[in-house]
């Protein structure tokens, strides 16, 4: 298929582009580079033979999207473009609604006009808020605790209204758990532009000496070792989940909603230990107060993805940490090096 990948130079988008190309799809990346670098395109090229077409553009730019969609006949869109920092979304809610919600509306309008009705959306486990129990199934109630999460819920709802209004749409809402890791070549990885908010990118910075010590946010949760438990999924597995979702949509019109996780929860201290083993030295950490808004445990029931997509994650925590470390060690300053 000819696939437009918005947010395609970002972390999940770039890894997915590799798998899409490897699966035989023809890929165009569309990204405003607000949180990524154009150097990614050459790296993807080094992995797959030829760099994919990259167009710098914003999903809020209706005219720009129209021009692109007039020139090229896409069969599907994977929509990664969006802002994702939970803390920033609390400070700048309008920016998040404008970029994520308005951006998606503008994109969907352009797609409707061009007759492109196969759409894969990056949703998040954040839509489940603080779940009553784990593992989390797709039919659990949604309750976001921040503007970022609410932007995801709004988009999810918009998409289900769209499918109800016009059954020609084929839409997947993929709820990612915690993507970590990097391409095993060390060529692609996560390259946060500021001080990282997320656990593994922060550990990576500590491991290369760019940060002194990891702060572990709370050791008094009701979890086996008191630290938060999450469903970390290798970004390469997540990428393959998108290829599987596209395949599913080719055969099934309507709406697909699935969790993409491993079904296993790991605590912060388990991740710290695994990363220390991967990089060959312990990661210095200190226990500090809980981070506001964090939940104790969040991991997926992955049976729907297995049943509907024939997909399941295969990489374990050691592989995730090993690949994250290879990327960081070879690119201590990210894509700048
Ligand atoms: P990322 O920031 O690396 O990638 C997002 C990309 O979108 C960036 O390259 C950025 O430049 C681009 N972008 C942002 N706004 C844009 C706009 N208006 N127009 C065009 N491009 C724009 O983030 P990621 O981790 O790759 O996340 C991809 C998607 O997955 C996001 O929608 C995110 O909310 C969602 N998600 C991510 C996680 C995670 O932990 N990484 C978890 C759940 C869901
Ligand atoms: N943590 C620390 N220290 C840090 C960073 C994180 O102890 O410096 C802890 C957190 O308290 C939490 C765990 O590590 O227990 C994971 O935190 P992350 O920030 O890596 O991930 P979250 O689960 O908080 O959130 C992530 C994304 C969201 C997404 C959510 C659900 O940031 O966008 O996963 O998929 F919605």
SS3 (DSSP) at 251: helix
SS3 (DSSP) at 123: strand
Mean pLDDT, residues 261-279 taken together:
98
Q: Which of 151, 143, 139, 111 shows the shortest CA–CA distance to 127? A: 143
Percent of the chain with pLDDT over 90: 97
Name the catalytic one among 11, 96, 128, 148. Answer: 148
Quick one: how many helices (H) and strands (E) in the chain? 12, 14
Measured CA angle at 238 (ends 260, 91), to 5 deg: 75
Query: Which atom of ligand 1 lies at the shortest distance from residue 99's CA?
Result: 18
Across the chain, what does the average pLDDT equal? Answer: 97
56 pLDDT band (50/70/90 cuts)? very high
CA–centroid distance, 137 to ligand 2, in Å, is: 20
SS3 (DSSP) at 179: strand
CA–centroid distance, 198 to ligand 2, in Å, is: 5
Is the predicted pLDDT of residue 145 greater than 90, yes or no? no
Q: What is the pLDDT of residue 155?
A: 98
Is the predicted pLDDT of residue 194 greater than 90, yes or no? no
The dihedrals phi and psi of 239, each to the nearest 5 degrees, come to: -60, -45
Could you read off the pLDDT of 85-132 as tens digits, one per residue? 999 999 999 999 999 999 999 999 999 999 999 999 999 999 999 999
**89 CB near ligand 2 (under 6 Å):** no
**266 CB near ligand 2 (under 6 Å):** no
Is the predicted pLDDT of residue 336 greater than 90, yes or no? no
Query: Which of 11, 89, 179, 204 gets mutated to test ligand 1 (max ligand atoms within 8 A of its CB)?
Result: 11
Q: What is the pLDDT of residue 138?
A: 98
63 pLDDT band (50/70/90 cuts)? very high
Domain ranges of the chain: 2-181+233-261+301-313
182 pLDDT band (50/70/90 cuts)? very high
Ligand nearest to the CA of 87: 2
Could you read off the pLDDT of 299-312 as tens digits, one per residue? 999 999 999 999 99
Which contacts qualify for 38-43: CB closer than 8 Å, 24 or more apart?
Answer: 38/9, 39/335, 40/9, 40/14, 40/188, 40/335, 41/9, 43/14, 43/187, 43/188, 43/335
Query: Which architecture, in CATH terms, is 2-181+233-261+301-313?
Result: 3-Layer(aba) Sandwich (3.40)
Measured between alpha carbons, how far is 102 from 155 in angstroms, rounded to an integer? 9
Mean pLDDT, residues 16-42 taken together:
97
**pTM of the predicted protein model:** 0.98
Q: Report residue 188 as tokens.
A: 């692609």
Is the predicted pLDDT of residue 337 greater than 60, yes or no? no
**241 CB near ligand 1 (under 6 Å):** no
Ligand nearest to the CA of 239: 1
CA–centroid distance, 299 to ligand 1, in Å, is: 21
Q: What is the pLDDT of residue 193?
A: 86
Q: Are 260 and 176 in contact (CB under 8 A)?
A: yes
**179 CB near ligand 2 (under 6 Å):** no
| CA-closest residue to ligand 2 atom 6 | 199
Q: For 217, how many CA atoms within 13 A lie in the half-sphere containing its CB?
A: 13
| CA-closest residue to ligand 2 atom 15 | 228
Q: Are 244 and 314 in contact (CB under 8 A)?
A: no
**Which of 188-197, 231-240, 300-309 has the weakest average pLDDT?**
188-197
- The answer to whether residue 11 is catalytic is no
**228 CB near ligand 2 (under 6 Å):** yes
């Amino acid at each position: 298929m000819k696939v437009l990948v918005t947010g395609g130079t970002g972390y999940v988008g770039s890894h997915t582009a590799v798998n899409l190309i490897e699966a035989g799809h023809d890929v165009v990346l569309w990204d405003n580079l607000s949180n990524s670098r154009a150097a990614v395109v050459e790296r993807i090229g080094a992995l797959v033979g030829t760099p994919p077409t990259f167009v710098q553009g914003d999903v809020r730019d209706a005219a720009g999207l129209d021009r692109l969609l007039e020139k090229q006949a896409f069969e599907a869109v994977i929509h990664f473009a969006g802002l994702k920092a939970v803390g920033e979304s609390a400070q700048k809610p309008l920016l998040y609604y404008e970029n994520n919600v308005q951006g998606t509306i503008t994109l969907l309008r352009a797609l409707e006009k061009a007759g492109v009705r196969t759409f894969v959306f990056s949703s998040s486990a954040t839509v489940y808020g603080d779940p009553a129990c784990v593992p989390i199934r797709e039919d659990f109630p949604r309750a976001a605790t921040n503007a970022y999460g609410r932007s995801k819920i709004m988009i999810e709802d918009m998409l289900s209204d769209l499918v109800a209004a016009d059954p020609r749409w084929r839409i997947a809402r993929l709820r990612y758990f915690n993507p970590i890791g990097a391409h095993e070549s060390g060529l692609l990885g996560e390259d946060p532009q500021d001080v990282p908010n997320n656990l593994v990118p922060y550990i990576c910075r500590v491991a290369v000496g760019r940060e002194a010590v990891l702060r572990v946010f709370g050791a008094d949760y009701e979890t086996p070792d008191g630290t938060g438990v999450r469903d970390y999924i290798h970004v390469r597995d997540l990428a393959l989940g998108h290829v599987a979702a596209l395949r599913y949509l080719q055969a099934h019109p309507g709406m697909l909603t699935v969790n993409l996780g491993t079904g296993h929860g790991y605590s912060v201290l388990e991740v710290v230990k695994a990363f220390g083993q991967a990089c060959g030295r312990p990661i210095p950490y200190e226990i500090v107060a809980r981070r506001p808004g964090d939940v104790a445990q969040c991991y997926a029931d992955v049976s729907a993805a297995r049943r509907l997509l024939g997909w399941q994650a295969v990489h374990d925590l050691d592989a995730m940490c090993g690949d994250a470390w290879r990327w960081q060690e070879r690119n201590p300053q990210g894509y700048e090096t």
